[in-house]
Amino acid sequence: MNDRRVPLVDLAWQHTQVDQDVRRGWDEMLADTSFILGPPVGEFESGFAEFSGVRHCIGVGSGTDALEIAIRALGVGPGDDVILPANTFIATALAVTRAGATPVLVDCSPDTYLIDVEAIEAAITERTRAIIPVHLYGQMAPAREIRDAFPDIWVVEDAAQSQGARRLGESSGSIGHLGATSFYPGKNIGAYGDAGAVLTNDDRLAEQARKLRNWGSEVKYHHPEKGFNSRLDTVQAVVLSAKLRRLAAWNELRSEAARLYGELLADLPVQLPVVADGNDHVWHLFVTRVPERERVLGELNANGVGAGIHYPTPIHLHGAYSDLGHGPGSFPNSEQLSQSALSLPIYPGITPEDQEYVADCLKKALR
């Protein structure tokens, strides 16, 4: 029995890097008690907008809220259809439903696992008002191709897993009419709690999103429309600014780790991640496919390797979306992926020795 542990995600190393900056920022915040929309929020919003190559970043309470606010800022709601991939985290679909619109699912590509452009084309009707390309696992979906192919339909990028990723020279969150991102703690840039942001180059949509996050109000006690309370907390903005300064370097560490996995796993019967042409991947997750996934996952976990599954159930097979009426077999690529996907530990701070241990355990499990 050995006691080696390699978790799926380890945030401890990151914290050691930002500890001093966070404490200093929090001390300042405590001194001026600027808990709601204090100066650190605007500072982070400017910094992240610049990092993402957009004019506006609006900090909100979570990635799910960011998606909902983006959809509502476009005026998309009851009676409208929004196309999204069946292979994504549930929040993409929930944001559509919460805005009152109807999710229309399409399958993913069998190699990159990203939304399939041809499948979008087949799903479009006169009710389609928006498309959500989801930049899964750290690489961007073909958002530019989608925006150009369907010029009359709104595009909202789900950029929760892709901070710092680029496609054909364009940044994650800068291509759609709006982008939505998450700063859930395990994301490439993560807060110390829930947080998210809406990104856009459009001044009017930015103003709309800013209003929606603040009870539909620009002027205190004046509410021209129904918004909700979802602002980025000052406490989180301090953490995020400290991490933003290091994000590019941390993404590079993720890339190095991905390269090493590529070498270590080259001779195993494992489907390695495929990077689409033109993509700079930021390796939020390292998603492989393996035979006998449940057994292999069990052996890895038993040996202290925190491998995971992204995702075990496509959207249409969740109870929450049984009302869409899609049974098994509706989206075969997404379903096959859900049965064979295996995510290996990856994070800034993982050591080559950790990765060798993961590869050794995987090799034994596949024997």
Ligand X SMILES: Cc1ncc(COP(=O)(O)O)c(C=O)c1O
Q: Give the CB-nearest residue to ligand X.
A: 63
Residue found by looking up tokens 């991905």 in the block: 258
User: How far is 315 from 331, CA to CA, in rounded Å?
Assistant: 10
Cβ-based nearer residue to ligand X, 67 or 365: 67
User: How far is 178 from 154, CA to CA, in rounded Å?
Assistant: 8
**Which residues contact residue 339 at a Cβ distance below 8 angstroms, ignoring those fewer than 6 apart?**
293
Report, in Å, the least distance between residue 356 CB and ligand X. 28
64 binds ligand X (CB under 6 A): yes
160 binds ligand X (CB under 6 A): yes
Report, in Å, the least distance between residue 65 CB and ligand X. 7
Q: Copy the structure tokens of residue 131.
A: 């498309």
Report, in Å, the least distance between residue 139 CB and ligand X. 12
Task: Give residue 165's Cα distance to chain centre.
Answer: 11
**Which residues contact residue 14 at a Cβ distance below 8 angstroms, ignoring those fewer than 6 apart?**
190, 243, 250, 347, 348, 349
Report, in Å, the least distance between residue 133 CB and ligand X. 11
Interface residue with ligand X among 158, 299, 335, 354 (CB under 6 A) is: 158
Report, in Å, the least distance between residue 186 CB and ligand X. 8
Q: Which long-range contacts (CB under 8 A, 24 or more apart) does 248-253 make?
A: 248/164, 250/14, 250/188, 250/348, 251/163, 251/164, 251/188, 251/282, 251/283, 253/348, 253/349
Q: What is the DSSP string of 88-103?
A: S-HHHHHHHHHTT-EE
The footprint of ligand X on residues 248-287 (CB under 6 A) is none
Interface residue with ligand X among 87, 109, 128, 161 (CB under 6 A) is: 161
Report, in Å, the least distance between residue 213 CB and ligand X. 14
Mapping DSSP to helix (H, G, I), strand (E, B) and coil, where does residue 250 land?
Answer: helix
172 binds ligand X (CB under 6 A): no
Cis (ω within 30 of 0) for the bond into 311? yes
The footprint of ligand X on residues 81-120 (CB under 6 A) is 88-89, 91-92
Cβ-based nearer residue to ligand X, 184 or 331: 184
Report, in Å, the least distance between residue 203 CB and ligand X. 25
User: Is residue 261 within 8 Å of 344, Cβ to Cβ?
Assistant: yes
Interface residue with ligand X among 86, 134, 239, 365 (CB under 6 A) is: 134
Query: What distance separates the 2 farthest-apart alpha carbons in the chain?
Result: 66
Interface residue with ligand X among 68, 80, 194, 354 (CB under 6 A) is: 194
Report, in Å, the least distance between residue 282 CB and ligand X. 13
**Which residues contact residue 157 at a Cβ distance below 8 angstroms, ignoring those fewer than 6 apart?**
132, 133, 134, 135, 141, 143, 172, 173, 175, 176, 178, 179, 180, 199
User: Is residue 86 within 8 Å of 110, Cβ to Cβ?
Assistant: no
Interface residue with ligand X among 8, 18, 58, 62 (CB under 6 A) is: 62
Q: Classify each residue of 132-157 as buried b or exposed e, where b means 16 or more C-beta atoms within 10 Å of its C-beta.
A: bbbbbbbbbbbbbebbeebeebbbbb
Cβ-based nearer residue to ligand X, 240 or 359: 240
- Which residues partner with 115 through β-bridges? 108
Interface residue with ligand X among 103, 133, 196, 345 (CB under 6 A) is: 196
**Contact characters 291-330, ligand X, x per CB under 6 A:** ----------------------------------------
Cβ-based nearer residue to ligand X, 187 or 362: 187
Report, in Å, the least distance between residue 346 CB and ligand X. 15
User: How far is 241 from 263, CA to CA, in rounded Å?
Assistant: 34
Interface residue with ligand X among 25, 59, 63, 227 (CB under 6 A) is: 63
- Residues contacting ligand X: total by CB under 6 A: 15
Q: How is residue 276 annotated by DSSP?
A: P
Which residues of this chain interact with ligand X, rule CB under 6 A?
62-64, 88-89, 91-92, 134, 158, 160-161, 182, 184, 194, 196
